[in-house]
Structure 1
Amino acid sequence: MQSFLCYVLFSVFFITAVLANSSLEIRADENDQAPIAGFVPKKLPTYLALGLYGISAAIHWIYFFIVPPRPRYMLSLPIGMLALTIGFILRLQYIAKPSNVGSFIQMDLPCLFLATDYMLLSRLAATFDEKVANECLLIRRSRIVKIFVWSDVSTFLLQASGGGLSSQTDRNIANLGNKLTMVGLVLQAVSFLLFSVSLIIFGMRLRFPEAWSSVNAQPFKLISRQQIDDWRILYYLMCVTCIGISIRSIFRIAEFAGGFDGYIAVHEGYFYIFDALPLWISMSLFCLVWPVRVLNTKHTSEDHEFIVRR
C-alpha cells in the first residue's frame, strides 16, 4: 500500500509540474539556431517523466525475473517501458542540442505496449476451456496476435514512409508524405479500436451472474508474487490500458493534424498530459498486478458455470 501511495504522490507531482509548463514559448537555442521541434523542451518535466518511467521499467524487469514462469511474450512490457525511459534520456540530449536532427529523431523510440495487450488477451482466453474461449472471442485466439501485430507493422511502415517523404524539399512530395503519415496514424488508431471492441465483447459474453459472481475472488496483495485466481482483475487492467493508449492515439492524430508548428506541437505540456501520462498510468498498473500472476490459473466451465451470450 505504501508503494501505491508513493505512485499516487508521484502522479500528482507530475501533473502539477506539467500544468506549470503547459505553455511553452518558441525560442532559439543558445547558438541562435532554430530548434528542430520548434521549441526547446524544459528539463523539469523531462526529469520527472524519466524517473517515473524508469521506476516502472525496473519493477517490470524485477517481476519478469522473480515471478515464475518467465514467458517470452512478457518481455514486450519491460522492454517497451525501458524504450520509453531511454526516449526521455535522449530528450535530455536533444535539449542540449535542439538544432541537431539526429537528436530530434532519436527521441521517438518505438514501444511494444500494443503488442502486449494483443498477447495478453490471447493468453487470458487460453486460461478458459477452448470452447468458451472460441465462443467469446470475435477472432480465433490463435489469430489475434498475428492480425493486430501485422496491422501495427503495416501502419508503422506507412508512417515511416510518410515521414521520409515529408522531409523532402519538393512541396508536392512533402504534402504526400504528410498525408501518408496521417493515414498511418488513423489506421493504427482504428486497428486498436477494433481490438478494444474485441476485448470488451470478450468480457460481455462472460459477464453474467452465472459467470462473474461464481468466480472465487480471494483477497490478493498488490506488488507481490502471489497467484491471483480472479481473471477479472487482469481484464479490468487491460480495459484501463486500452483507454490510456486510445487517448495517446487520438492526441497524436490531433497533434499531427495541427501541423509541425501547430499550437499543440509546440506546447510541450499537451504531450505530457495526453501522451506520456496516460501511457505511464496504464502500464504502471501492471506493476501492481503482474499479468503472469493471473495467467497461471486455469478456469473451467464446470468450475464457474460459464454461459456465453450470443
Structure 2
Amino acid sequence: MATIFARQDTSTDDAAAAIFTVLFIILMVYHSILLVRRRTWFCVPFVVGGLLEVIGYIARALAHSDTVSVGIYSIQSLCLLLAPILFAASIYMILGRIIRVVCGENYSFIRVNWLTKIFVGGDVLCFMIQGAGGGLLATATTASQINIYNNIILGGLILQILIFLVFIAAALVFQFRMQKRPTSAALEGPLGEHNTGKGNVFNRLTWKKLMLGLYVTSILITIRNLFRVIEYGMGWDNYLLAQEWPLYVLDAFLMVLVLIVCVTWYNPKITKNPSSRHEMQYMNSERLTSQAEAHGQINPSSGPRPWS
C-alpha cells in the first residue's frame, strides 16, 4: 500500500489542507461555545464531527511531506470519511425535537419516540461499516483486498444515502401535514410562525426556518455522499482519487457549509416541550374543533389557539 499512498498523496495541496483546517477549527470552537452556553446537548455530534475534520485535514497536510506513512494516511482517510456521519446524527435528532415543540406527533408517519432511534441507529450502523472498511483498507496489501474493503465502504455510503432519503421523506410528509392543518403550537408556541419579532437570529427562529435548514444540510451531505460513492465505485485508480480538488470542493467545502447552517440550531427553544397543561389544552381543543367541524358548526380556519 505504500506505493499507492505515494501516488495519491504526492499532489496534496498543502495550502488547501491548511485553509480548511483553520476553517474547521474556527467552526468547531464556535459550535463548542454555543453548545455549552445554550445546553443543546443533541448538537454534541457537530462538535465531535468538527474535531474529526480538523484532525483529518491536519493529517492530510502532514501527508504532503510524508507520502508513505500508513498511520497518517489512515488518520486522514478515516476522519474525513466518518465526520459527516456525526453531522447527520444531529440532523436526525432535530426533526423529533421540532415535531414535539409544535405538538405535531400525529403528523409524522413514524412514531416520534422511534424517529430518532431508527435514524440515529442507522447512522451508527453506517459509521461502523465505513469505519471498518476504512480501517481494513489502510492495511490492505493486495489488489483483491483493496477491492473488497473498498466495496465495504461503498456499501456503507449507499446505505447512508438510502437512510437520508427516507428521513427527508418523513420530514416532507410532516411539514406538508403541519402546513395543511397547523397546530396552535406551530403558530404561537416557542417556535411558532407568529413569533418572528425583533432580536438576534435565535429569537427570530421558527419551526419552518429550522425545517429549511434541515433540508439544506441534508442535501449538502447527500451530495457529498454521492461524490464519495462515485469515488469509491470507480475503483482505486481513478480521476477523483488522483486529483485534490474534488475532495475540497465536494466534501470539505460542503461540510463547512453544513456547520455554518447548523449554527442556528443552538436554540434553547428547540429543547423545550410544551407544558403538560398547554399540551392537554391543545389536545382537547383539537378534538373539540374536529368534532365541531364534522357537524359544520365552525369554520376550520377559525379554530382556537390554546397555546396562548
Residues 1:58 and 2:32 are matched in the alignment: no
1:103 counterpart residue number: 72
1:125 counterpart residue number: 99
Structure 2 gaps of 5+ residues are: 287-300
Q: Root-mean-square deviation (CA), in Å?
A: 3.0
Does the 8 A contact of 1:123 with 1:295 survive in 2?
Answer: yes
2:46 counterpart residue number: 77
Amino acid in the other structure paired with 2:171: L
**Structure with a larger share of its residues in helix:** 2
2:159 pairs, out of 173, 187, 195, with: 187
Superposed, 1:1-310 pairs within 5 Å as 35=6, 37-67=8-38, 70-107=39-76, 108-109=78-79, 110-111=82-83, 112-129=86-103, 132-133=104-105, 135-163=106-134, 166=137, 167-208=139-180, 215-222=193-200, 226-228=202-204, 230-288=206-264, 290-296=266-272, 298=274
Does the 8 A contact of 1:255 with 1:265 survive in 2?
Answer: yes
TM-score where L is the length of structure 2: 0.76
CA change 1:255–1:229 in 2 (3 A) is closer
Q: What secondary structure is seen at the aligned counterpart in 1 of 2:215?
A: helix
Q: Decide which structure has the larger Cα Rg and report it.
A: 2
Q: What secondary structure is seen at the aligned counterpart in 1 of 2:246?
A: helix
CA displacement, residues 37-76 of structure 1 (integer Å, 9 cap, x when unaligned) = 3533112211221122122112111111222xx1432212
1:217 CA displacement: 3.9
1-structure distance, mates of 2:123, 2:95: 16
Structure 1 gaps of 5+ residues are: 1-28
2-structure distance, mates of 1:173, 1:87: 24
TM-score where L is the length of structure 1: 0.75
CA change 1:96–1:174 in 2 (3 A) is closer
Q: What secondary structure is seen at the aligned counterpart in 1 of 2:8?
A: coil
Count residues in correspondence: 269
Q: Which moved more, 1:176-185 or 1:253-262?
A: 176-185
1:34 CA displacement: 5.9
Does the 8 A contact of 2:59 with 2:75 survive in 1?
Answer: yes
CA displacement, residues 95-131 of structure 1 (integer Å, 9 cap, x when unaligned) = 22121010011113132101101111111111122xx
Does the 8 A contact of 1:227 with 1:296 survive in 2?
Answer: no
Amino acid in the other structure paired with 1:175: N
CA change 1:286–1:220 in 2 (3 A) is farther
